[in-house]
A and B are shown apart, each in its own frame.
Chain A
């Protein structure tokens, strides 16, 4: 099943009088269960493409589809609703809310989805267990290591059972061991839950985990290797 698709998307940024084309017409699709990386040098358009897939930004031209629905022209609140129900994010800078505990950070998407208290608790505990952080449930981000914080972020991304998780440089701020742990967990969750993962990275340690490697350069798709999962 096709989870996400971009068709001939472009994205142009204008800073003062200078226009920069971050994406120059890309067509790509991701299937349910994909474990794919977007790679390429800095400025190649990886993060921009990830932001379009995550409905955090809108293309200058072209179309974006999530679960078969065209989302290109959704308004701000409709995009927020879509992200809440369908998408999960893992960012380079861990991106946890510093005043909330690990438990509460993971619980946040469930609260936004108005799940009842007992269902929330069960789901959060399950996720804490799956990222091996049950003992740290009530620790705040500043009481966790970088690797632990990123695992909390992974658990939070999975909380609402999204179809697609987008990770932007998820290991960039981690040492080798923590980076490996985070990737192992994401790979395990991909296999167990079938959720689609798309990473933007130029870290070879991450790329080697991917079933599919998509290479961008100067806003263009230059390589699309590996297997697109069919369902």
Chain B
């Protein structure tokens, strides 16, 4: 075997430039695939974590009759005495945070500008709001007893042409189907870099939200964050009671998870397309080598080298090209992913329904993707090189000795 490797290495060295270019094709192919996989992973995982942190939490407890799309404020569709339920939920050891929230549709008006928003009533002191408090860019955050302040996204403020301290007019639905109209002062501006949120979600203290929507002592949902998101199912089972529905983060982010599965399917197609291109380069190189070295193959056969050993010689050459290409490709791909993992790249607002995308995508290269792509690249290269190796092994010694 050592002799085969030595011969294969020397054979590759005969036309060094061609060998380097062939290995480079594998490198670029693998680096590209690592980058694509890392971007996809970054996008999916980023979207999922953004959704969990900014919107869904790990679990939500809602009234059994609550329909999310309708943002219903009827008392029958809401959780009554939410503080009592929160206190019970907090006794579960796996629960990190539990907080009531009220969701309502509203319209925000300022001067000639007007826009539809989602109003969320929150307990300003809850840890669950950390992503928003940490995103404060101007003014200040809310206090629980604030009766006239709201906390809105900076892009929304820009759209309405308002700033901290300005007054805006809020029209909100109420539990009995009426619309109330009240002036509020902008206390602070946040910027989560998630355009869907920043442009359309406004916050006020829960008590005030309940007051204007006439949903006293009711909440749309109890939002729960867990110490470990993998325990969502078991905690959901522990909470489940009559009259409630408990939704896990998987259920609330089905679109993202389904997209991930679909994306993984498409990735296999992309793997195969990119690797087919690189494998073609390797096959081409080896076929040229077979034609150039036909007479040598005849000599080896004449002195007794069997077909399978001749085949092995070419497979080892392909293997060396693949190993060299993969090594460089891993380093190159890792460096690219490192850069885009740190700085990301700006995508702006391309949020789709069911997706909460930040305005930047960061590459996340996982060990699983790295190992999987490395193995796939190696296997595809070796399988592709079977063809030239078989051509070499099937050459008739007499014809090969004459260079035919």
A residues whose Cβ falls under 8 Å from a Cβ of B: 51, 54, 56-57, 76-77, 80-81, 83-85, 88-89, 91, 93, 95-100, 108-109, 111-113, 156, 160
Contacts and interface: CB of A to CB of B under 8 A. Distances in A.
B350 interface: no
Given A80-B306, A99-B10, A160-B304, 15 more contacts: A54-B302, A57-B397, A76-B307, A77-B307, A80-B305, A81-B304, A83-B302, A91-B302, A91-B401, A95-B295, A95-B299, A97-B299, A99-B13, A112-B309, A156-B303
A45 to B, nearest CB: 14
Contact of B302 (A56, A77, A96): A56
Interface of B: 3, 7, 10-11, 13-14, 295-296, 299-309, 397-398, 401
A223 B11 CA distance: 46
Contact of B304 (A51, A91, A97, A109): A109
B404 to A, nearest CB: 12
Contact of A98 (B296, B302, B305, B397): B296
Contacts of A80: 301, 304-307
Given A56-B398, A98-B296, A99-B10, A89 B303 contact: yes
Contacts of A56: 302, 397-398, 401
Nearest to B400: A56
B302 A89 contact: yes
A142 to B, nearest CB: 11
A200 to B, nearest CB: 13
Nearest to B13: A99
15 contacts: A51-B398, A76-B307, A80-B301, A80-B305, A84-B303, A85-B304, A91-B302, A95-B299, A96-B299, A98-B296, A99-B10, A99-B11, A108-B300, A109-B304, A112-B309
A56 B305 CA distance: 12
Nearest to A77: B306
Contacts of B305: 80, 84, 112
Nearest to B403: A93
A207 to B, nearest CB: 23
Contacts of B13: 99
Contacts of B401: 56, 91, 95
A84 B309 CA distance: 13
A80 B301 CA distance: 7
B391 to A, nearest CB: 15
A57 B301 CA distance: 12
A15 B398 CA distance: 15
A111 B306 CA distance: 13
Contact of B14 (A51, A99, A111): A99
Contact of A112 (B7, B14, B296, B303): B303
